[in-house]
Structure formats: structure tokens, C-alpha cells
Structure 1
Amino acid sequence: MRHRRLNSLDRSNAEVAALALPPAVFKTCPWQPRELIEQGLRQWLRCCAAALRDNQIIGMPSHAVDEAWHGFILCTARYSAFCERAYGQFLHHHPEGGAPAGAPAATEPMREQLRRTVIAWSMVAGPGERCVLWDLDERVGVEKPWGIDAARVAAIEADLARLSQRV
């Protein structure tokens, strides 16, 4: 089973790397540099692969990346085809207050969803790869940045390291 799971993440990573993002993706995403937001979007899509694989809901840590993701979703044919190739299923978006009744995204705190985003990143990151999602909004000048505090990310990563030592 583990071998199959690794292959699914490898497939997703390859699809994310090969993804051609049309200019329409950034139509409502005015922040710069666009390359940094694109990097964040690609990292988010990679995190989603781990979350979908494990049937988890993760939280979006960046308003700027969320806007780019919305732009990608609106390119419906491209988005649907990408999801099928990368994940084998459609990646739904559950904005705050928009998840179906009873879905975890409708009932659990964003803090928990963001914790799982950090965990998902730990599963997909390459050796030494830094995640830009945590402070991207501050770096691109979003007026009310979302993000995850660096101390919280470090604490979650430390918990993961302790757990992996026990196994």
C-alpha cells in the first residue's frame, strides 16, 4: 500500500510541475511578484495531493494564493482535467461558510485545517525545500495577510519529528 501512495504523490508532483497556468489564473490576483504566487499555488496543489490521498481537509494559508486558485478553478476544463490527472478526482473548494452541512470543512476550526496543511507540506516537500505559503501574503503586500506564524509552523514540525522518532 505504501508503494502505491508514494506513486500517487510522485504523479501529483509531476502534474503540478508540468502545469501550464494561463494568464486568466491571475486575473483577480493583483499582487507581485507573480512568480512567488505561482510558486505558492504549486506548493498548495502539492499539499492537496497529500490531503486528498489521506481524506483530509486542509486550510488555505494565503489570500494571494487563494485568489490564484480561484482563477484556476474558473478555467473549468483545464482545472477539471488537471485534477483528474494529478489526483484521480476533482478537488473541491470549500470557502469559509460554503462547505456542505456536516462536512469537516463546515464544522472544524481553520486553525486545525491549517495545522494539517503544515503536515501535508511535510509529506510533499523536497529535501531542503522551503514552503512559501506561510508568509507569502506579507511578502507580496496583502493588506490583511492570512499566513501561519513561523513559531506555530516550527511547533507543528517539531511535533511531527517527535512522532516520527517514536515509530
Structure 2
Amino acid sequence: MGLEIILSLLLFVITLIIMLLLRARDKRSHSLEVMKNRMGQFIKEIDATRSLFREEMQSVEERLNWVIDEARRGSEALSSRLDEIDRRRSELIELESILARYRNTLLELGETTLAIDRKIEEQKTWQKQIDDIHAQIDEFDFRLQGFASSFERALKSAYKAMEEPLLT
């Protein structure tokens, strides 16, 4: 029985070792399973984050494309406005040249008007002198007619006086 006890004990120890080994293996297996579960959760979180990141990237890309399109439209509108300004600039340069010609023409017209006003004043002076001369001529004609009438009367009276002694 000593051997039986030793054998039982040995069997008990071997069983205990096997159980411990199985338990350790089970722990490792459990740790691996926990690790697998955690890895699965981590992968799910990574996939969710990746999906969220893709959605955010898509949203950012759409907004960026919209901003680029708006910038392109703004650039085209600005380019169109600049072209219009360039076109208007040539029109304004043309208009400026026309206005310069008008200004020069108006200055010449002003000078001509001043010259005409001087000529008119000169003509008025001449007209006044001519009117004065006409007045003097009219006065001279009036005096001459008066003198001619007086002379004619005197002649008639002298003629009558000369005829009367001859008739008597």
C-alpha cells in the first residue's frame, strides 16, 4: 500500500499538473480570445473611423470642389469684368479724345466769338460815325435846301424887280 499511496499521490500530482497546464492553456486561450475580441472591436472601430474619415473626406472634397467651382466662376466673372473694363477703357480714351476736340473747338469758338464781338463793336463805332456823317449831310442838305429856297426867292424877286421897270 505504500506503493499505492505513492502511485495515487503521483497520479494526483500528475493530474494536478495536467489541470494546471490545461488551466494555463485555457488562460492563454482565454487571453487570446479576449485579445481576438479586442482586436475585433479595434478593427471595427478602425473601420468605423475609416468610414467616418472617408465620409468626412468626401464631404471636404465636395466642399473643396464647390469652392473651386465658385472660385473658377468668380475668376471668369472677374476676367469678363476686366475685359469689359479694357473695352470701356478704349471707349473712354476715344471719348477723352472727342472731348479734347470739343474743348479745342469751343476754345476756338470762344476766340472767334470774341473777335466777332470786337468786330461788332468796331462796326458799331463805324456805324455811329456814319450816322453822324449822315446827320451832318442831312443838316447840310436841309441848309442847302433852305439856302436854295432863299436863293430862288431872291432870284425870283430880283427877276420880278428887273421885269417891273421894263413893263412900266
**Same fold flag (TM > 0.5):** no
Report the TM-score, using the length of structure 2 for normalisation. 0.14
Instruction: Write 1 or 2 for the structure with the bigger share of helix.
Output: 2
Computing the radius of gyration from Cα coordinates, the structure with the larger value is 2
Does 1 or 2 have the higher relative contact order (CA < 8 Å, sep 6+)? 1
